[in-house]
């Protein structure tokens, strides 16, 4: 899978990572928690992920921080 994200920063970096988790909003009452392992290519203002996302759980409104 290849994912491109906007980022803040102008540095250049290529690294392998296997300990990143991402929360993905699925449009409903629950969000999915995914673990990522693969290569990150960080260019000015974008990050390119080349690797695998595996679902490891879900979050409901009762256990998400609301910021209130």
Q: Write out pLDDT tens, residues 3-35.
A: 888 988 888 999 999 888 888 887 777 888 999
The pLDDT value given to residue 59: 81
Stretch (H or E) spanning 18: strand 13-25
Residue 39 lies in a domain: yes
Cβ 8 vs Cβ 45: under 8 Å? yes
Determine the pLDDT at residue 19: 87
Q: Is residue 68 part of a domain?
A: no
Residue 20 located in a structural domain: yes
* Tally of structural domains, the chain: 1
Burial category of 49 from C-beta neighbours within 10 Å (exposed 0-12, middle 13-18, buried 19 and up): buried
Distance between start and end Cα atoms, the chain: 36
What's the whole-number average pLDDT of the chain? Answer: 85
Q: Is residue 66 part of a domain?
A: no
Instruction: Please give the pLDDT value at position 30.
Output: 81
Whether residue 67 lies inside any domain: the answer is no
Give the contacts of 19 (CB within 8 A, at least 6 positions apart).
Answer: none
Range of the domain at 46: 2-60
């Amino acid at each position: 899978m290849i994912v491109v994200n906007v980022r803040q920063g102008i540095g250049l970096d290529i690294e392998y990572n296997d300990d990143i988790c991402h929360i993905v909003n699925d449009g409903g009452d629950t969000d999915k928690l995914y673990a990522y392992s693969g290569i990150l290519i960080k260019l000015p203002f974008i990050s390119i992920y080349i690797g695998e996302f595996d679902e490891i759980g879900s979050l409901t409104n009762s256990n998400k921080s609301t910021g209130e």
